[in-house]
Amino acid sequence: MNAIKIVTKKKYEVIDITKEVEKHVKEVKEGTVLVFTPHATAGIIINENYDPNIGLDIMEALDNMMPEGKWRHDKVDNNAAAHIKSAIIGPSETIPVKDGKLLLGTWQSICLYEFDGPRERKIIIKTTKD
């Protein structure tokens, strides 16, 4: 099991981590890789990243569904919307690997979604071999 650290710079941010994950699967002939973030206000998603507007559109859609400042948890530390968005996106993705390559579609990338930055985020990368 390996881990990488990502330092986010904004409150809301989409960071493509595909290249970082690829470094950890080079020795996997056939198997899977789990990409997991152990944080309650960030998530991992697979989607298009060729056009960065997709990530911005997803962030905006989540903002429209979960506006800030109206939730009970905001009385604790004012980040309830970040927790809700993270719960919807989820903390992990599993990707098949063959001959040291991620079996992602042409336009797919693995991205960290930051909902409560800036922060240092840990990403756990666990490979399995079939």
pLDDT, one tens digit per residue, over 29-79 is: 999 999 999 999 999 999 998 898 999 999 999 999 999 999 999 899 999
Please report the pLDDT score of residue 50 as a whole number: 87
Please report the pLDDT score of residue 110 as a whole number: 98
Q: For residue 107, give Cα distances in angstroms to 18, 26, 46, 104, 113.
A: 12, 20, 10, 8, 17
Question: 15 pLDDT exceeds 90?
Answer: yes
Helix then strand then coil, in percent of the chain rounded to 5, is 25, 40, 35
Task: Specify the 3-state DSSP secondary structure of 50.
Answer: coil
Report the Cα–Cα distance between both ends of the chain, in Å, rounded: 16
Report the topology of domain 2-129: Jelly Rolls (2.60.120)
Question: 81 pLDDT exceeds 90?
Answer: yes
Please report the pLDDT score of residue 49 as a whole number: 82
Question: 128 pLDDT exceeds 90?
Answer: yes
Please report the pLDDT score of residue 52 as a whole number: 85
Helices and strands (H and E) in the chain: how many: 4, 8
